[in-house]
Structures are given as C-alpha cells and as structure tokens.
Structure 1
Amino acid sequence: MWVKIVILTVLTLESLAFKTTRHYIQSPFGNWREFNSGYHIQSVNENGRVEVLEKTLTKPQLDTGATLTEKVLKHAKIYSDIEDVIVAIVDPKLGGHGHESFNAIPMNPAVQKIWRSKVIEPIYDYLVENEHQDLFFACMLFYETLNSTRPSGFGVFVTIGILSNLHLVKGYVPNPRKSSGMEVVPYLYSTGTERAIRISGSIYHRLEVKGDRTRSWRVRVEKAEKVVSFSDLNSGTDIDEINKIHARKLSNNESDVPGQLINKKLGGRGDDPYNVVPMDPTALEALNTRVEAPVRAFFCNSTNKDRSVVLTVLVVYENNVSTRPAGFITISRGLDSDFKMFIPN
C-alpha cells in the first residue's frame, strides 16, 4: 500500500497575517523534471524556485538520508530571512538527499519544530510500524509574490496509497517571517477514508466526522472538482434554504455566510449539500474574484470557447473533527497559465 503526501507552500499576494489578517496565495505551475534520485520536481524556469516536489518513500529508506551539504545550505540562505533555518523537505530520517538544492527550504524556527513533530515524525513512525506499505510524498510550494523565492506557508496532504483518499497527515502550516511576530497556527490532522461522489457534473470527496460542537456524526466535504466548459457558465443555481441552514449548523462563527465551492456562474449547484459550506465573507469574495472571475474571463475570449478548465478546491479544516473550513486551496488547470491559491477562512 502507498501513502501520498502533498505539501503546499503558500504564496501571498497581500502582506497580511494568517488568521488575524488575510492573505491570498497564488502561484503558477512550472515544468516537470525527473531526477535519478527518485524526485519528481515541478519548477518555474524564470527563477528556478520549486513549485511541486514528489518522492516515493519506503521503509528501507528510513535513516539512509544525508544532512544538507554546505553548498546546498549556502544556496538556500540566499532566499531566506535572516532568522530562518534551512530545512530539508524530505528529511534525512525519511531518506532525503542532502546534495539536492530543491530539497532545502527556509523556515521560521517555530515552523521547523511543527514540521518535525507533526509531519516528519508521524510519517517515520507509520513506516516503521507498517513494513509493507510505502509512502508517496508530494510537496507543492507557493510564495508571497510571483517573483518571491521564500515560501510563506505549507499545505500538507499525506494519503495512504497513491490513489487513496485516506489521509495520514493533512492540513496547512503558515511560514511567516519570525520578525513579523505572527503566531504560527498549524492546521494538521489525520482523516478516515474520504468517499468520492459525483453530483451534477462535479466530483466531491466527503468524510464522516464526529462534530467538535455537537459530538454527533456529520458529513463534511474535503474536496470539490469540476471540469468547466463554456456551456457551464451561468448554468448553476442559488443556494436553497435547506443548504443555507445546513451550512450554518457547520459553523459557530456568526459572521459566516453560506458559500459555494464551485460558483454558480461556473455551473455550481446551490441545492448540492457538498457544494455549500460556511465561509467568511472575505473568503467568499476572494473565491468569487480570484478563482471564478479568471475562469469566466478565460471563456470570454472566443478562441477558448471549445476548451475546458479543471477547477479543484481542497478544503482545509482546523482538525479532524471540525466542520467549519479553515481555508481553501484552489487549483485551476487549463487556463493560459495554471494557478494554485490558498484562501484562509
């Protein structure tokens, strides 16, 4: 069996702090390269920064890695804040290589501790205890601006099996500069198996959780995905009263409003319970203006009317029992430039 780990490093377009202030993270995808050392890398050629890192991990690889070399450390420090520490994405404990510059990233010291205790150690322990189960590690990186080279956050998705929806580690960790004084609040947790369901052209991953508010079992959505074509524009529906009530029950934040993961202007259904979640009004506005609007603008070009865009929204929660989303990771593929973004909620 495999375990798939996806780590997203976040790019902020506005210099705002996580939780107390807003930041919207957008970053273009790059070109894929494969290395003999087993890494699969997606990077942007303009500045060489890594956007995605993937690697299969196995139990025999444990404790066979090497610490980062002086050359790699020196290279990574060019892109780091003065108080950062340089950390291997794939730790030596997991067989990570020390001579590969793409495996080294700058971290706030507080983030390094969280990374080790909440990401590396659970993976290591899992491999030790499950001799015949491999891990697939994927790491997505985002940055403060399109030209930045220091990551400002990490989203983590570790699934048991490369095609599995069972998460060992999942969530998001911001990576603020230490000098900002921001508190590092990680959202990391494990989940049970997510069940995929198709409704009205959209695919959702849902999960039963024992709610942190009522302690009763509830279903929360983990992922929404839709292939959007020109004919889908303005074909969706408004949120019905049943789902408005349902969304309010998932949140204890009075300022939240019901929002659609797949916007109705892109064919999202308001009568679909998995498409409606509680959202902060600012997050809802960001989804509309930074995710939905670019897709609509894409189809306004007559040369694109026969093309399609794959829109994916990964929902991040505070923990494994929360039913109110803590943020949204959106991925838009098929546009003239593919983009990923993190929107806090």
Structure 2
Amino acid sequence: MKGCLVSFSRPLAYLITIALFPVIRTWNVENEIHYNSGIVIRTDDRTRRVLSIEAIVDMRDPIPNQSVTEEVKTHFQKSAEPGDVMGFYIDSRIGGPANETFNVVPMNPSVSELWRTNVSEPIYQKLKEDTETRQGSFVIHPLYDDINTTRPDGFIIVAMVMRRPNVTGTNNKFNLVVKGYIPNPPKAMISKALEPALYSTDRWDVRHWERGTSPTTMSGTSHIASTVKGIQSEEFERTEMGNFAVTMENGVIVQSCGAEDSRQTQFRKSAWKDDDVPGFLLSQRLGGCLEDPYNVVPMSPKAVEEYKSKLEEPIIDFLNTTVFTYKPPSPDGETPPRFVLTTLIVVYPEPLATRPAGFFFRSIRGPLVVVGNLYIPN
C-alpha cells in the first residue's frame, strides 16, 4: 500500500505544481528588415543571424561602387571557421551590397567557388545578355546546425531571371532558374558533408495557384508545380514549392480533402528507391490529404521520421500549448482558431528528376518561429 501511495502522490503533486506554476514555453522571434526597395531580410532576434533573404534585383538600376567595410570584416570573422573565405549571398555586380553585414557569409573555399560558378555567374550572365528584362529574384534560406550557431552549415536557394515580368497568366515562365541545396561544412569536415543537390535550367515553366483560402489566417494553401515525365514517359506536375496554413479549431486540426484521385499522386508516377514509402509534404495530422496529387511523394523511412519529429510534432505542440490568437474568445466560450504558416521548397537533383533529393520547411506564427529553417535530406 505504501508503494501505491508513493506512485500516486508524485503525479498528483506534479499536477498541482503544473496547475499553480504553468510551464512557460519560449519561441524564437524573427525581425524583418527592408533594405532599399527590393531586399527583405529576416533575422533571429536573439542571435542576429540571417534566417532568409528575399530580393528582387534589376540591372537597369544604377549599381553603386561599394567596398567591404571594417564592420563587414569583423562580422565575418565572428562566425568564420578556420579556412573559411568571405562569400556574398547576392553578387555585388547585380546589386548585392558588399558593405552590409547581412549579405556576407563565411563559406569554405569549395562552396564559395560552387556558389560563384553555379549561382552568381549564371545569373549575372543571363541578366547581362537579356537587355529587355534584366530583372531577377532570389530567395535564400541559410541552414544552421543548432539554435545558437551563426555560421550556416548549408543553404537553400531559388534564384530566377524572369522572362515575362509584367505578364500574369496561368503559367509563369523564366529564362533561368537556379534551385537547390548547397552544404557548407567547415573545411575540416568536408568529408562528412551531404552532397549538393543543385541544378539550373534555362526554361522553367511553372504553374502557381491558390488551393483555398482560410478566413482565419487570411492566407491560403498555394502550390507551384512544373511538368515533368514520370515512369512510362507519362507527364505529370511535380511539386516545386508551396505554402500551407495549418489551422486548429476547438482543439482539432482542420482537414479539407476533396475527391481527388490518389492514383495521380507524384509518388505513383515517380521513380523511387526500394525502401521508399508514400511521404506527405503536409501530413494527415497537419491537415494534409492522401488523395491530394501534389502532396504525396517518394520518401525514405528516415526522412519520414525526421518529418514527424522535427516538423509535425513541434507544430502540433505549438498549436496545443500556445495561446496566441488574433481575437478574444467569443461570448459562447468557443476557442478562437490557432494557426501556423509553413513554407515548403522541394529540392531535386536535376531539372527533370521525379524523386526529391530533400525538403525544406519553415513554420511561423506572426513573428514567432515555430520551426526554424529545416532541411530534411531524402
């Protein structure tokens, strides 16, 4: 009996402690900075490291003559590992500021050369030769080993030179796209690094569409897909990027599934490895649908487990435990909906590949970072 009293008294005391002194969860906060008219930088409020850079560059605008300042050199040295060289996210020849700390990043020499030859140079040459457009856009997400480091150990990049910048149609066309994942290990650890999954293509036709709008979030689920040939040379649209609104109402995550045909999913039409399983870009626990032809792709079992532990569980935990609503409770006691916005970029090893090489996710709620920049190799 004494043993029973002990076994019950400890949980009871624990519950009382939780009731009287609730656990306070903390979440990282991001700041948004606008540089000139075309560059938006998001940084971590605590470490000041760069979380994302979104930029539109136009070579028709004058590019000032800039030089690297002492402040930039000091900023670089604080994060650099032995053997690192100074790299620039956006090349100064197309408007990237050399005198701003957000544009400077430590890179190991081989990554710096890869970035120069496979990212900066193709974009510069295409903008230089295209006298009509001369406009490009960048989305760059640095990846970090943990929540405290300031030196990126990899990058997700989508860089595009627009073909028809002022025309809105069913399809968006680009003269050049550079897209993928680049690892950035310290020079001493290159042998243990993942392989890059980066490609460029000079003809990228994609379809961008909204797949529903939530009145709660004022933001919908959207997709960007491109047409490729799958097994048996059958064409289908592979998912390139997407945005998801994961919404919880009265303790239940909202799921909105149509009557789409699961036989048309990317998983069924892709080449896959022997141990691949149907993997969800938006899992069923987060409101995703098995029948969604753009939601199910070939995933390795390890990637599925990482998805669950590093993306799915943190989002559900946030929705269950965080009171961060856009309006007060209604008089009838109904709990206001809670939501998280998630960005997805699917990484492929080449322009016409059907099996993803990896997945990038980033989840936020307002200024709160629910899931930081996350790359899951596949």
| TM-score between the two structures when normalised by the length of structure 2 | 0.74
Q: How does 1:8-23 map to 2 (within 5 A)?
A: none
Over residues 129-181 of structure 1, what are the superposed CA-to-partner deviations in whole Å (9 max), with x where a residue is unaligned?
A: 22232223343323111110101111111232499574621111111112113
Instruction: Report 1 or 2 for greater relative contact order, CA contacts < 8 Å, sequence distance ≥ 6.
Output: 1
Kindly tell me: are residues 214 and 296 of structure 1, through their superposed partners in 2, closer, same or farther at Cα, counting changes over 3 Å?
A: same
Aligned length, in residue pairs? 317
Cα separation, 1, equivalents of 2:243 and 2:265:
23
1:207 equivalent in alignment to 2:226:
yes
User: For 1:295-342, what per-residue CA distance to the aligned partner results, in whole angstroms no more than 9, with x for missing partners?
Assistant: 222232384552222223221111101000111111212275343311
**Residue of structure 1 in register with 2:207 after alignment:** 195
1:276-305 Cα offsets, whole Å, 9 max, x none, are 000011111111222122222223238455
Corresponding position: 1:227 with 2:258: no
Are 1:30 and 1:45, in contact at CA under 8 Å, matched by a contact in 2?
yes
Structure 2 match to 1:5: none
User: What's the CA shift for 1:243?
Assistant: 4.2
Give the structure 2 partner of residue 87 of structure 1: 87
Greater CA deviation, 267-276 or 301-310? 301-310
Matches within 5 A, 1:151-190: 151-159=152-160, 160=162, 161=165, 166=174, 168-182=177-191, 184-190=195-201
SS of match in other structure, 1:113: helix
**In the alignment, what sits opposite 2:374?**
341
Amino acid corresponding to residue 288 of structure 2 in structure 1: G
The 1:100–1:203 alpha-carbon spacing in structure 2 relative to 1, beyond 3 Å, is closer
Q: Give RMSD over aligned pairs.
A: 3.1
Contact 2:340–2:363 under 8 Å retained in 1: yes
Q: Output the amino acid matched with 1:208.
A: T
Task: Kindly indicate whether the alpha-carbon contact (under 8 Å) linking 2:265 and 2:297 is maintained by their aligned counterparts in 1.
Answer: no
Contact map agreement 2:238 2:266 (CA 8 A) in 1: no
1:306 equivalenced with 2:337 (yes/no):
yes
Say which SS state the counterpart of residue 337 (structure 1) adopts: strand
Gaps of 5+ in 1: 1-26
Instruction: Please give the per-residue CA displacement for 1:183-216, whole angstroms capped at 9, x wherever unaligned.
Output: 65242233622213455774332210245x7555
1:254 equivalent among 250, 274, 282? 274
Distance 2:263 2:279 in 1: 10
In 1, the alpha carbon distance for the partners of 2:342 and 2:43 equals: 21
- Distance in 1 between residues matched to 2:242 and 2:136, nearest whole Å: 24
SS at match of 1:141: strand
Give the direction of change, closer, same or farther, for the CA distance of 1:62–1:218 in structure 2 (3 Å limit). farther
Task: Please state if 1:294 is matched with 2:314.
Answer: yes
Answer yes or no: is the 8 Å Cα contact 2:303–2:377 preserved in 1: yes
Asked whether the 8 Å contact 1:173–1:188 carries over to 2, the reply is no
1:68/1:88 contact within 8 Å kept: no
Distance 2:137 2:343 in 1: 20
Q: 1:253 to 1:67 in 2, by over 3 A?
A: farther
How far residue 234 of structure 1 moved from its aligned partner, in angstroms, is: 7.1
- Kindly name which structure, 1 or 2, has the bigger radius of gyration based on alpha carbons: 2
Contact 1:67 1:92 in 2 (8 A): no
- SS at 1:319 equivalent: coil
Residue identity in the other structure for 2:157: V
Q: Report the Cα distance in structure 1 between the residues aligned to 2:121 and 2:62, rounded to whole angstroms.
A: 11
1:11 is matched with none
Counterparts of 1:331 and 1:165, CA distance in 2 = 26
How far does the alpha carbon of each residue in 1:40-89 deviate from its partner, in whole angstroms, 9 at most, with x for none?
32222322222223333222458754353454224302211101111122
Q: What is the aligned partner in structure 2 of residue 140 from structure 1?
A: 141
Report the Cα distance in structure 1 between the residues aligned to 2:305 and 2:239, rounded to whole angstroms.
20
Contact 2:237 2:266 in 1 (8 A): no
Structure 1 range deviating more: 33-42 or 107-116: 33-42
Counterpart CA distance in 2 for 1:246 and 1:137 is 27
Over the matched positions of the two proteins, sequence identity in percent amounts to: 31
Using the TM superposition, give the Cα deviation of residue 121 of structure 1 relative to its aligned residue in structure 2, in angstroms: 1.1
CA distance in 2, matches of 1:344, 1:97: 32
Scaled by the length of structure 1, the TM-score of the pair is 0.80
